[in-house]
Structure 1
Amino acid sequence: MPNKATVRGVLVDATLAPVAAGKIVATLQGSDIFDGGVRVVTQKVEATTNARGEWALALIVNGEGETAGTSWTIEGYNQYVAKVFEAKALFLASGLEITLGDLEKTSAQNLKAAREAGLARLILAADYDSYQAMPENQRRQNDLVVVKP
């Protein structure tokens, strides 16, 4: 069973007012090698924003296969079902909680690190203990852990 990470964000309009009852849709697509066989990997997850525009999704960590050929796309829609944003090529490297903004900043580096095992991953954590609490098979010796409360 793949691990999951919670991705959080706040949906706001052009005036920076929170969008209540908006919709966030996350789509995972790609292929990867698990247990010696190529598998097509897909998933679609949705969430509705609360009165403060906040949302959270539990998404599969797509950095656990052998070739890292998958990525997430996250789209946000306002209460009138008009698309507000789209973030593509997002790569979840670990099962730790992360904001959408931080995920956008770290995805390119972590996708490249997944493809080239010698490169360091950039892992953001609320504290170092939460990183250390992850199972040993999810941590790498060359991880760069940034504590971001």
Structure 2
Amino acid sequence: MPNKATVRGVLMDATLAPVAAGKIVATLQGSDVFEGGVRVVTEQVEATTDAQGGWSLDLIVNGEGERAGTTWTVAGYSPYVAKLFEVRSLFLASALETTLGDLERTSAQNLKAAREGGAVRLIVAPDYDRYLALPEGQRRPNDLVLVRPQ
């Protein structure tokens, strides 16, 4: 079964006020085969924002698929179901917890690395030991690890 990574963020409106009771919807796009022959084709995961606009979702790690054939789309909605944002082609390279902002910044490079094999992946970790704690199959010799304390 594929591992999952926690993606978190804070939903705010244009006045920088937190959006409480909003919805965050993540949709898996594409299909891929994961360890043990498990084929994952579609998944939709939802979270409701808390009083401070905070949210978190546990999402399948795309980088564990054989073809790197899946990406995530994440959208945020107000309590009145008005779409506030949408981010496409998000690619989780590891099971490390990340923020939506870091995921947006690293997805294009990590998707390219997964498809080309030799390209460098950019992994954000709260400390280097957390990166080293990943199973060996999730680490690569050419990973570039950015340590960003939480």
TM over 0.5: yes
Contact 2:28 2:42 in 1 (8 A): yes
Which residue number in structure 2 is paired with residue 29 of structure 1? 29
CA shift in 2, pair 1:77/1:98, >3 Å: same
Q: What letter corresponds to residue 77 of structure 1 in structure 2?
A: Y
- The whole-number CA distance in structure 2 between the counterparts of 1:59 and 1:35 is 16
Q: What letter corresponds to residue 64 of structure 2 in structure 1?
A: E
Q: TM-score, normalised by structure 1?
A: 0.95
Q: What letter corresponds to residue 13 of structure 1 in structure 2?
A: D
Describe the superposition over 1:69-109 as per-residue Cα deviations: whole angstroms up to 9, x where unpaired. 10000000011110000000000000000000110000000
Look up the SS of the partner of 1:93 in the other structure.
Answer: coil
Once the two structures are TM-superposed, the CA of residue 42 in structure 1 deviates from its matched residue by: 1.3
Report how many residues are paired: 149
Which residue number in structure 2 is paired with residue 6 of structure 1? 6
Which residue number in structure 2 is paired with residue 119 of structure 1? 119
Cα RMSD for the two superposed structures: 1.5
Identity %: 77
CA shift in 2, pair 1:36/1:20, >3 Å: closer
Greater fraction of residues in helix: 2
CA shift in 2, pair 1:61/1:35, >3 Å: closer
Contact 1:31 1:38 in 2 (8 A): no
Q: TM-score, normalised by structure 2?
A: 0.95
